[in-house]
Chains A and B, each alone.
Chain A
Amino acid sequence: MSMVFHQFRYDQKAFWRNPAAVFFTVAFPVVLLLIFATVFSGQTIEVDGGIEITAYYVPAIITLAVISATMQSLAMSLVIAREDGRLKRGRGTPMPAWVFIAGRVGNSIVVALMMLALIAVLGRILYDVPIPWSEMPAILVTLMIGAAAFSCLGIALTALIPSQDAAAPIVNALLLPLYFLSGIFIPDDELPSGVIEFANHFPIRDFFQAFFTAYLPGGGSGLDWGNLAVVAIWGVAGLLLAIRFFRWTPRSG
Chain B
Amino acid sequence: MAESVISIKGLRKSYGDTEAVRGIDLEVNRGEIFAFLGPNGAGKTTTVEILEGYRKRSGGEVAVLGVDPERATRDWRQRIGIVLQSCRLDPYLTVRESLDLYAGYYARPRPVDEVIELVGLGEKANDRTGKLSGGQQRRLDVGMALVGDPELLFLDEPTTGFDPGARRQAWETIAGLRDLGKTVFLTTHYMDEAQRLADRVAILADGEVVARGRPEDLGDRGSQPTVITYHGPEGEVSLTTTTPVETLNELTGRALAEGFALEGLEVKRPSLEDVYLDLTEPTNGKVEQGAGQR
Contacts and interface: CB of A to CB of B under 8 A. Distances in A.
B82 A92 contact: yes
A233 B97 CA distance: 38
Interface stretch (A83-91, A124-132, A204-212): A83-91
Interface in A1-42: 3, 6-7, 10, 13-14, 17-18
Nearest to A6: B104
B54 A14 contact: no
Interface in B85-124: 86-90, 92-93, 97, 100-102, 104-107
A92 B77 contact: yes
Contacts of A3: 104-105
B87 A85 contact: yes
Nearest to A81: B90
Interface string B75-87: 1011010101011
B215 interface: no
A81 B93 CA distance: 13
B181 to A, nearest CB: 21
A96 interface: yes
B52 interface: yes
A163 interface: no
Bin chain A's interface residue count: 20 to 34
Contacts of B87: 84-86, 88-89
B148 interface: yes
A126 to B, nearest CB: 31
B74 interface: yes
B92 A17 contact: yes
Chain A, interface SS category: helix
Contacts of B74: 94, 96
A93 interface: yes
B130 to A, nearest CB: 10
Contacts of A6: 101, 104
Contacts of A92: 52-54, 77, 80, 82, 84
Given A14-B90, A14-B92, A88 B54 contact: yes
Contacts of B77: 92-94
A249 interface: yes
A253 B84 CA distance: 13
Contact of A89 (B75, B78, B84, B148): B84
A85 B93 contact: no
Contacts of B102: 93
B51 to A, nearest CB: 11
Contacts of B84: 85, 88-89, 92
A95 interface: yes
Contacts of B128: 17
B156 to A, nearest CB: 11
Nearest to B130: A17
Contacts of B101: 6-7, 10
Contacts of B90: 14, 81, 86
A51 to B, nearest CB: 41
B97 A13 contact: yes
Interface string A34-61: 0000000000000000000000000000
B27 to A, nearest CB: 23
A214 B251 CA distance: 98
15 contacts: A3-B105, A7-B101, A7-B104, A10-B100, A18-B92, A84-B89, A88-B54, A89-B82, A93-B77, A93-B102, A93-B105, A93-B106, A93-B148, A94-B74, A253-B86
Given A3-B104, A94-B75, 18 more contacts: A7-B104, A10-B97, A13-B92, A13-B97, A14-B92, A14-B93, A17-B128, A84-B89, A88-B54, A89-B84, A91-B54, A92-B53, A92-B77, A92-B82, A92-B84, A93-B106, A94-B74, A96-B74
